[in-house]
Amino acid sequence: EENGHQHKRLKRDADEEDAEDQNKKSPKRKIVLLMAYSGKGYHGMQRNMGSSQFKTIEDDLVSALVQSGCIPENHGEDMKKMSFQRCARTDKGVSAAGQIVSLKVRLIDDILEKINNHLPSHIRILGLKRVTGGFNSKNKCDARTYSYMLPTFAFAHKDHDVQEEVYRLDKETLEKVNKLLACYKGTHNFHNFTSQKGPRDPSAKRYIMEMCCGEPFVRENIEFAVIKVKGQSFMMHQIRKMIGLVIAIVKGYAAESIIELSWGEEKVDVPKAPGLGLVLERVHFEKYNRRFGNDGLHEPLEWTEEEEKIAVFKEQYIYPTIINTEREEKSMVNWLNTLSIHDFNSSVVGMQANNKNSK
């Protein structure tokens, strides 16, 4: 009997050692994770090492990766060790329905379920795919699509007294909004749409593929609309400023000519719309898919099977957060009240004076 107990104990010790060996041996693989999250209450996506008072999405993600056993603890402290790269750095309060991160992990059983068990419900991993060893989600991404959900009363003319819940966007105003948004298409110098670049910085030139506002819809008695924009890459605050300027023009605070003017070297005062409605919708890997998507070893980075899960997550976590926060905190209403402080005319007057002088 005693021998039997000893045998069991030895077997248990051997099993534990095997599991440890297995962990050491189980090779790490390069994968991508498809993430969705509601960004309210977070200081953006990217982790700020050494500044723990500003919680980010990556803080929660790395903690879940360690707790689920996909990565060793020291990889959480030094993210380079797992070749971690996010596709887009979303700003404070911004949500995502299709963020992609690439990293090396141990491919444990039921990996998605285990990671999600250690994440709050407003952050979900919706999909996983194996990728090439040298894959980097930021460098290999050739375009990003964002959406911006806003209450349509943002487009009501400043001279009209507007009841927010009663306002409905008419066809002419929507056409005007779309005509202005279309001006952004193509390659332009967006130095006036971020605080980080000077007018002669070559990296301020950005390529916008499409930008338009969809048909309005009513939620909780307020009418909303969604603006979609697809571009190669965006600078900090760029999309919020692009939308902010269009709102200023439609409301009658700024002349239409100011968009054209903003591409020039002059400093233009461009207002920045609130971060609340901004959502990273999806990221595109068209070149990678052409090269590796059908090589027999790797799958294309398309997420058609996950579309339904993405839609459900948006309905459950992203849209209600935007709508309820707008109702409670009135971020759009408060921001619209600041538009009158901006000085849009000085830029236009300055430009006219320059034109006269050059003539």
Binding residues for substrate are: 146
Secondary structure (DSSP) of 46-69: S--TT-TTS--HHHHHHHHHHHTT
Q: How many CB atoms lie within 10 A of CB 216?
A: 17
Q: How many CB atoms lie within 10 A of CB 148?
A: 25
Q: Are 48 and 54 in contact (CB under 8 A)?
A: yes
| Residue with tokens 């979303």, as numbered in its chain | 90
CA distance 123 to 118: 10
Helix/strand number for the chain, H first, E second: 12, 10
Length of the chain as a residue count: 359
Residue type, 21: D
Residue type, 266: E
Q: Which residues fall within 8 angstroms of residue 315, CB to CB, at 6 or more apart? A: none
| Residue with tokens 């099977």, as numbered in its chain | 305
Secondary structure (DSSP) of 147-159: EEEEEGGGGS-TT
Binding-site annotation, residues: 146
CA distance 160 to 146: 30
Q: What token pair was written down for 119?
A: 């994440």
CA distance 206 to 204: 6
> Of the residues 59, 91, 170, 201, which is catalytic?
91
| C-alpha distance from residue 214 to each of 25, 64, 229 (Å) | 52, 37, 11
* Catalytic residue status for 91: yes
Residue 325: CA atoms inside 13 Å, Cβ hemisphere, count? 21
Alpha carbon dihedral 92, 97, 102, 107, in 10-degree steps, equals 120
CA distance 123 to 74: 23
Which residues participate in catalysis according to the annotation? 91
